[in-house]
A and B are shown apart, each in its own frame.
Chain A
Amino acid sequence: MRILTIMLKEIKEILYDKKVMAIMILLPIVLIGILGFAFSSTSDIKLGDIKVIYTDEGDTILSQGFDIFIKETDKMGVKFVEIKDVSKGISEIEKRKYDGYVFLKGKDITFYKNAHGDIKTEIAASMIDSFADTFKGMTAIASQNPAFLKNSGDINLNREFIKITSIDRKVKQTSFDYYSVTMLTLIILYGAMSGVFSIDMERTKKTGRRILASPVKKYEILMGKVLGVTFSVFIQALIIVLFSKYIFGTNWGKDIVTVFVIIISEIIFVVGLGVSLGFIIKNGAMAQGLLNGIIPFIAFLGGSYIPVKEMGSQFIEKLSNFSPITWTNTAIFNVILGGNYQYVPTALMVNLIPAAFFIVLSAYLFRREAF
């Protein structure tokens, strides 16, 4: 119950602070508006062509079916390039020159993903899966009822059976869609400031001593603070999501729950970071300065301002893996655009493992010394 009391006090303090609210809510909304409108006049954020290499050592039916598949998908912006040497194919994909590599052998289809695993790779993988399922279905029908295939006009796979759902919907991402996510995850990083101040303020206002003189246990104080700041930042994030959805028409996908799970994990991470900084650096202004220096860099690497791939630097791309926001953004984009959950566990781990570390560190520091 005392945890709830402290939590509610934190929420009130943050939500009553007009300056914090302006920074945490108005600023991202304005930025989404400016960046969204600025880029929407030129073009949407394009994913570009999906480039896939393949080696065809499949049997006749599979090869024929795959040829039709290639022609169909070409119209959708998926470019297949044949490569004869399997090892070269794998090497190319390791170098991330293509989004995927398809190897047809007999009746088997193997798909190698680009290790970077962005949305284009996932779309290619999903299409190949779809093709493989259809092909299996067709061969099963052919073995049971060969007449069916004859009736359908050819021994080749009928185009209708190559069910490739339109990828237009998935690939298209407006500038509002992009910046709503990146500005949200960027501004959440600034939630670390609220974490810092939740500790520092008790020092500067001398209220910490008063709280400690009450029968509240230290763990209750810490939990109340972490939960209170987390909830406050969540409320701010929720307002941004709702505003962008209903005013800017941002596409937040069909699974908003998973998107929010990822967002909450980022919030817990930044709050943990902020609270521990509040204990380590016993000067709020100094901690704020440190965060102001780090956050733009982390955000830049996470593609908050422009997609990292657009920069064309492999070094920055590699470096971006060290930014927690990279994984958060990647996971959210994949869920929204591709319905792909592959990066969700990674994003959750990248956020929650350090968060747990920071909270344990805070508990240790708090146990040793009061505010």
Chain B
Amino acid sequence: MKIVKMKDVIKRFGDVIALDNMNLEIEEGEIYGLLGPNGAGKTTAISIICGLLNFDRGEVYVFDKNIRKEPEFIKKSIGIVPQDVAIYGDLTAYENVKFFASLYGLRGKELKESVEMALEFVGLSDKAKEVPNKFSGGMKRRLNIACAIAHRPKLIIMDEPTVGIDPQSRNHILESVKKLNEMGSTIIYTSHYMEEVEAICTRISIMDHGKVIAEGTKEELTSMVTDVNTVYIEIGSIDGIKEEELKGIKGVKAVEIRDSTIKITSLKDVSNFDDIIHYFISKNIPIRNLRNEIPDLETVFLTLTGRKLRD
């Protein structure tokens, strides 16, 4: 089942085109990453999916329902973790979660249990009666998540949920995202941080100038921008190493020897790693260090857009 389907969506803000014929399909059960620099259109796309923003042209379906026709039905099953921490500083953590869960129609025992579950999930059960004004940035971010999940939404949209927090809280949040996904929620995760997206997302869209410019798994995306693999091998001495012999290994396109490090570039679709290692073993040359250079999403983004992700 497709949880989200955007078809040729156009959204303008005056003369600025925020979304330019955007197409997007998200399957149930995915952790879907939306990657892109500021102004790429990520938040606009999310706002449209949540029913917060109207659009000029195109079609948007969430849970197979048209967002224009059945916004209330759709909103009931979505939880949003906004980019900015959106909580009430003077209400206790418990009251915050309870308030937002109540807006989704939860009442009585179900409400109480859901609030407690959400606070426990983000590790704030012991802080339930404290006011967030006294919380650290990481704790506020976690409460921000608790407020979005208490009503157990089918689709959770997380808009840069780790901005400005310590590594420990970031890891906690990333683990939470995985757990929520395991518990059955589909996740849309937007971020500047490609390492986060790489770590948790099952599929990724790269957005720029209001369009999805590339989409797929991490491997699919990286394969789009390069057809070679590069291995760096550090050895004690290069005596006995012959460049021609290395070039003779199947798939090897180039060999570069510099000091005690040998850079070997091979075709990506040829599996020759074992042969390369065997070459050094057969010559009794001990390998001190070995590093495989795999293009990351930053490289993909740079290649596709000519800009760095955080430009």
A209 part of interface (Cβ distance < 8 Å): yes
Residue among B51, B75, B84, B91 making CB contact with A16, cutoff 8 Å: B91
Q: Write the nearest CB–CB distance from B114 to chain A, whole angstroms.
A: 14
- Which one of B100-108, B217-225, B282-290 contacts A? B100-108
**Residues on A with beta carbons closer than 8 Å to the beta carbon of B102:** 2, 5
**Residues on B with beta carbons closer than 8 Å to the beta carbon of A215:** 72, 75-76, 103-105
Q: Which of A12, A16, A207: most chain B Cβ within 10 A?
A: A207
Let me know if B103 and A211 touch, CB within 8 A. yes
| Tally of B interface residues using CB under 8 Å | 27
Q: Write the nearest CB–CB distance from A7 to chain B, whole angstroms.
A: 11
**Residues on B with beta carbons closer than 8 Å to the beta carbon of A212:** 52
**Residues on B with beta carbons closer than 8 Å to the beta carbon of A213:** 50-52, 75, 78, 80
**Residues on A with beta carbons closer than 8 Å to the beta carbon of B267:** none
Within 8 A of A (CB), among B33-55: 50-52
B130 part of interface (Cβ distance < 8 Å): no
Indicate whether A205 sits within 8 Å of B103 (C-beta atoms), given known contacts A210-B82, A213-B52, A214-B75. Answer: no
Within 8 A of B (CB), among A179-225: 205-207, 209-216
B123-139 toward A: CB 8 Å interface, digit per residue (1/0)?
00000000000000000
Let me know if A17 and B103 touch, CB within 8 A. no
**Residues on A with beta carbons closer than 8 Å to the beta carbon of B99:** 5, 9
Let me know if A13 and B90 touch, CB within 8 A. yes
B72-111 toward A: CB 8 Å interface, digit per residue (1/0)?
1001101010101111111100010001101111010000
A22 part of interface (Cβ distance < 8 Å): no
Residue among A2, A17, A211, A370 making CB contact with B90, cutoff 8 Å: A17
B147 part of interface (Cβ distance < 8 Å): yes
Residue among A6, A12, A206 making CB contact with B85, cutoff 8 Å: A206
**Residues on A with beta carbons closer than 8 Å to the beta carbon of B100:** 210-211, 214
**Residues on A with beta carbons closer than 8 Å to the beta carbon of B82:** 206, 209-210
Residue among B72, B84, B107 making CB contact with A206, cutoff 8 Å: B84
A216 to B95, CA, bound (A): 18
Residue among A12, A205, A209, A214 making CB contact with B87, cutoff 8 Å: A205
Indicate whether A206 sits within 8 Å of B76 (C-beta atoms), given known contacts A5-B99, A16-B91. Answer: no
A298 to B95, CA, bound (A): 38
A215 to B76, CA, bound (A): 6
A2 to B82, CA, bound (A): 22
Q: Write the nearest CB–CB distance from A208 to chain B, whole angstroms.
A: 8
**Residues on B with beta carbons closer than 8 Å to the beta carbon of A211:** 100, 103
A71 to B99, CA, bound (A): 69
A2 to B101, CA, bound (A): 11
Q: Give B147's nearest chain A residue, CB to CB.
A: A210
Binding site for B on A (CB under 8 A): 1-2, 5-6, 9, 12-13, 16-17, 205-207, 209-216, 370
Binding site for A on B (CB under 8 A): 50-52, 72, 75-76, 78, 80, 82, 84-91, 95, 99-100, 102-105, 107, 147-148
For the complex with contacts A5-B103, A206-B85, A207-B88, 15 further pairs of A-B residues with Cβ separation under 8 Å are A1-B107, A6-B103, A9-B95, A9-B99, A12-B91, A16-B90, A17-B90, A205-B87, A205-B89, A207-B87, A209-B80, A209-B86, A213-B50, A215-B75, A370-B52
The 8 A-B residue pairs with the shortest CB-CB distance, nearest first, are A214-B103, A206-B86, A206-B84, A5-B102, A215-B75, A210-B86, A207-B86, A215-B72
